[in-house]
């Protein structure tokens, strides 16, 4: 439910900022006494009063009679967030990958990247220009889902112990990888092709 911005007093903004900060740092909302202590109020009902005003302006919601039950409406409306580990170097299947510490983590809502919370997903950085024919650039972040590839899917797969991002093709019952750049040859695996994941979403920083 879209809500245009509302006017808050300076003090109300301070209160709101404190709620956000506390939630970020502690993982839970503060109680009215936490708020009292933080702002140096003599009475906890000053906190109550502010919460009531913020609720009236629609920027928070409260569950009556429950401790720590302040809610940001946008938290309720948000699509479920998925944490995607970003690996710098992968030389393994997904099971081993999970045991490896990632280089970082991306967090996005599930709908944006087309990956459900329960699905296994990971991210890696595109290296080189082998997929430039479909506008996939060196340095892009590729988000992949661990699942069976269909022909023409773009996949991350293991070739000679290294992960590569290519188009997955099947000819004469034989799976292989093709670049989207004529300067790069097809890759035929010696054994069965080990696909690590199927490309779902691409992210590129432009600044």
Q: How far apart are CA 167 and CA 122, in angstroms?
A: 18
The residue behind tokens 């779902």 is 200
Find where tokens 């997929």 sit: 131
Smallest gap from residue 146 Cβ to DNA (A)? 26
If one asks whether residue 114 binds a copy of itself (CB under 8 A), the answer comes out as: yes
Q: Hey, CA dihedral for 166, 169, 174, 178, is it positive or negative?
A: negative
List the one residue from 18, 41, 94, 176 that touches DNA (CB under 7 A). 41
DSSP annotation of 148 reads P
- Residue 176 near residue 134, CB atoms below 8 Å: no
**In the bound complex, what is the minimum distance in angstroms from residue 94's beta carbon to DNA?**
23
Q: Does 16 bind DNA (CB under 7 A)?
A: no
Contacts of 106 (CB under 8 A, 6+ apart): 83, 84, 86, 123, 141, 143, 203
116: contact with a copy of itself by CB under 8 A: no
C-beta of 94 vs 176, nearer to a copy of itself: 94
Q: Distance between CA atoms of 79 and 115, rounded to whole angstroms? A: 12
Among 22, 32, 84, 197, binds DNA (CB under 7 A): 32
Binding site for DNA (CB under 7 A): 9-12, 31-34, 39, 41-46, 48-51, 53, 56, 62, 64-69
Binding site for a copy of itself (CB under 8 A): 2, 4-5, 24-29, 31, 61, 63, 66-72, 74-81, 83, 98-99, 101-102, 105-109, 112-114, 132, 135-137, 141, 153-154, 198-207
């Amino acid at each position: 439910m879209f809500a245009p911005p509302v006017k808050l007093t300076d003090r109300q903004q301070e209160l709101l900022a404190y709620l956000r900060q506390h939630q970020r740092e502690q993982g839970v909302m503060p109680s009215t006494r936490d708020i009292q202590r933080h702002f140096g109020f003599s009475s906890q009902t000053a906190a109550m009063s502010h919460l009531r005003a913020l609720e009236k302006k629609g920027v928070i919601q409260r569950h009556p009679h429950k401790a720590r039950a302040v809610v940001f409406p946008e938290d309720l409306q948000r699509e479920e967030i998925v944490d995607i580990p970003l690996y710098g170097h992968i030389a393994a299947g997904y099971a081993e990958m999970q045991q490896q510490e990632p280089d970082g983590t991306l967090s996005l809502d599930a709908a944006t990247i087309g990956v459900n919370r329960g699905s296994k997903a990971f991210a890696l950085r595109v290296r080189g220009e082998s997929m430039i024919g479909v506008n996939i650039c060196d340095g892009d972040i590729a988000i992949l889902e661990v699942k069976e590839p269909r022909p023409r899917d773009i996949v991350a797969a293991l070739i000679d112990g290294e992960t590569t991002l290519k188009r997955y093709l099947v000819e004469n019952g034989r799976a292989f990888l093709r670049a989207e750049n004529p300067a790069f040859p097809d890759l035929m695996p010696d054994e069965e092709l080990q696909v690590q994941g199927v490309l779902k979403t691409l992210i590129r920083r432009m600044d």
